[in-house]
Structure 1
């Protein structure tokens, strides 16, 4: 996986899906850029991860471990223009996490990772020069770096589907890759 930016900002949906994979730390290590989440996403998603139940608490631990190991950084608004963009994007997107992710990524020229169709189209309209990645692109990139066996990859994707409640939309560029592995 090639990332054309120094940083990639993970939206909440990607955080949840990558944590659901049970390989969050390994996946982060394979990303060739600094991975960040916004303070708003951290505040809300860590709470969500902790509420998932005993089995899923491993996801919250991996999230916290990734931060402690420097694999995942937390960023917050650094300028008035970022805060203004956040407010404007919240009006458009209707979600604080996606709005903060887009505001910081667009203002700083960083890549975005999201699975939300509205956030994807919004980002592509606002900043067509920015790279927008999905959970599947990140997992596929990790699987190629690690040369994962198809059985391991199927297990990971199954966990993302079940625990993350994720399924790629019918126009996702990696839908056939997903379907072939999930058979």
Structure 2
């Protein structure tokens, strides 16, 4: 899977994550992944910027708006857990969506990840990312079975 990040998100949003064990923010450094071509930074076209403004008017934050606009216009998969973004994608009948549980489950299946590694990963997401799948997620039971 090719990973792409809107330049706005790269420069303004993917900066740090709070490490609860150390009680401090840790810097997120994506540059090595960009250098190795594992992540591509993408800039919006003029039309995508126009659509981004529309998404902002629909109460999405700038990062989600850029992501949705670029992904939709280029027919790429969009990875998000943001409820407002998911609602917008549903409203416009865009179905190429990946959520955190789907990404993690795919990773565990493709890379033969041990149960202890999965549990640690999910716990880190829950604690540091402050994310748990909603109860209506198709992978809610899978997630809870792995994390407990």
Q: Within the alignment, does 1:73 sit opposite 2:36 as a pair?
A: no
Equivalent residue, structure 2, for 1:88 = 54
- Structure 2 portions without partners, runs of 5+: none
CA RMSD of aligned residues (A): 1.9
1:56-113: per-residue Cα shift (whole Å, max 9, x none)? 33xx23x2211111100111112x2211101111110330000000011111111100
Which of residues 154, 158, 163 in structure 1 aligns to 2:119? 154
Q: Report SS of the residue matched to 1:93.
A: coil
- Conservation of the 8 A alpha-carbon contact between 1:93 and 1:119: no
By relative contact order (CA 8 Å, sep 6+), the higher-ranking structure is: 1
Q: Which has the higher helix share?
A: 1
User: Which residue among 63, 66, 69 is the counterpart of 1:103?
Assistant: 69
Q: TM-score, normalised by structure 1?
A: 0.73
| Divergent runs of 4+, >4 A | 50-55
Offset of residue 173 of structure 1 = 1.1
* Distance in 1, Cα, partners of 2:118 & 2:14: 25
State how far apart, in whole Å, the 2-side matches of 1:45 and 1:75 are.
14
CA distance in 2, matches of 1:139, 1:72: 17
Q: Which runs of 5+ in 1 are unaligned?
A: 1-31
